Amino acid sequence: MRNCVTWIVLFLLISCNSGTPDEKGTFVAHAGYVQVVLFHMEQRCESCDAVERETQNLLDEEYAEELQSGEVKFISLNYQSEKGKQAAKLLQAAGQTLYVIKGDSISNLTSPAFMYAHTHPAYYLDALRKELDKYLK
């Protein structure tokens, strides 16, 4: 029994590692450009890391021009930091979430992002592409 408890504790410590607490960017309300906003916790699991990694890779590979021009910005915020709390309050975010935003339009991609970025990234990336392309028209 004691060995089983040890394995469970070890699994939990490994599955939600202490990811980089660095924040990228600042959310701007009613911006005229597309913002991909990821809220994460300080303790980050594989799914959260995958969402950030897959999002950044897609933006770098397929939307590099838009990133360079400032037409698209990726913002990764620790939900528990002051900066993250302020943005979460404005967006009514509750915990780990992913939004694609332009002006007053907000698309919530939390479900496909956190359900599929780690296990079936193509499904998540298709959903993200669709929202980005909609806002970039």
13 domain-assigned: no
- pLDDT score recorded for residue 22: 57
CA–CA separation, 81 and 59 (whole Å): 25
- pLDDT score recorded for residue 1: 55
Above 90 in pLDDT, residue 98?
Answer: yes
- pLDDT score recorded for residue 19: 39
Mean pLDDT of 15-38: 76
6 domain-assigned: no
- pLDDT score recorded for residue 43: 84
CA–CA separation, 117 and 96 (whole Å): 13
Above 50 in pLDDT, residue 11?
Answer: no
| Distances, alpha carbon 26 to alpha carbons 12, 85, 93, 109, in Å | 31, 12, 15, 19
120 band by pLDDT with thresholds 50, 70 and 90: very high
63 domain-assigned: yes
52 domain-assigned: yes
Q: Which residues pair with 15 in a beta bridge?
A: none
Q: What is the pLDDT of residues 44-97, one digit of tens each?
A: 889 999 999 999 999 999 999 999 999 999 999 999 999 999 999 999 998 999
Which of the two residues, 42 and 39, has the higher pLDDT score? 39
Which of the two residues, 52 and 23, has the higher pLDDT score? 52
75 domain-assigned: yes
Q: What is the CATH number of the domain that holds 53?
A: 3.40.30.10
31 domain-assigned: yes
Of 38-47, 62-71, 113-122, the poorest mean pLDDT is in 38-47
Which of the two residues, 12 and 107, has the higher pLDDT score? 107
93 domain-assigned: yes
65 is in which domain, residue-wise? 19-136
Domain count, the chain: 1
